[in-house]
Amino acid sequence: MTHRFIEFFVGLLFGLGLLLSGMTDPGKVIGFLDIFGNWDPSLAFVMGGAIAIGFFAFSLAKKKTSTFLGGPVHLPKFNQIDMPLMLGAILFGAGWGLAGFCPGPALVSMASGQVKAAAFVFFMILGMAVFELFDKMFKTKLTDS
């Protein structure tokens, strides 16, 4: 039960972070990606802030054999730069630039009642389902990050 509570609370905290950072505003994301136009550098501060904290936690996590609650630490072991990684990142980047939504902010925005965000989430899950079919047919998939 402790885990269920922590997962809920971490999800809540993460969502609040997304809202505060401005990531849930596609206009802000596109403003950040528009380096040749009227550039809004805010999202670089989001990344910087997140990594400044995350770096210490993950350095610690790498050294630990179990979590503070005694469970296993699931860190990805696969480290090859392969075709699925590159093609996936290219397709994701294209979709991200097109609408300004990535998965987390789209889910939060949907929960706040944004109809277009809900439509985005619908098509995103459809895209994920299409991937599962594609993966069953061609066996491309390896690990999650």
Shortest CB 47 distance to other proteins, Å = 6
Question: Least separation, in Å, of the C-beta of 143 and other proteins?
Answer: 6
Q: Binding of other proteins at residue 10 (CB under 8 A)?
A: yes
Contacts of 25-29 with CB under 8 Å at 24 or more apart are: 25/100, 26/99, 26/100, 26/101, 26/105, 27/100, 28/100, 29/96, 29/100, 29/101, 29/102, 29/105
For the bound state, the minimum distance from the C-beta of residue 103 to other proteins, rounded and expressed in Å, comes to: 4
> Binding to other proteins by residue 138, rule CB under 8 A?
no
If one asks whether residue 120 binds other proteins (CB under 8 A), the answer comes out as: yes
Give a three-class secondary structure readout of 70-94.
CCECCCCCCCCCCHHHHHHHHHHHH
Q: Which of residues 58-97 bind other proteins (CB under 8 A)?
A: 58-62, 64, 66-69, 71-76, 78-81, 84-97
Q: Which is nearer to other proteins, 17 or 137 (CB)?
A: 17
